[in-house]
Amino acid sequence: MKFSLSTPKEIEAEFAERIRLARIARRMTQGELAERVGVSVGTIRNLERSGDCAFSTIIKVAQALHLERGLGDLFKIGVNSIDELIEMNRAKDLVRRRVSRR
């Protein structure tokens, strides 16, 4: 699925399906996953149905399903041009300056 061409709802649905399939592939029930994550079965059911839940829950689910490697690329910033690379470096410098003032 090409996320750049998808709506937020389509992306949520895709992640929901991926999570459901990963759980099933590991022969885990929704109850077992909920227990490992520390949430209710309803939360897992809702996550698998709609993809809607707290980001912290998604992280815990990814860890419980051994999918945490995929988290590393989740918000990785891609650079498509020299101009974008220059802007990224400027942003990093701004962040460093703000942190050092504290």
Give the Å distances, CA to CA, from 69 to 10, 13, 55, 59: 22, 20, 16, 11
Res 81: pLDDT: 86
Query: Splitting the chain (102 residues) into consecutive groups of 10 residues, what average pLDDT does each group show?
Result: 81 92 96 97 96 92 91 76 85 73 54
Res 101: pLDDT: 55
Res 98: pLDDT: 65
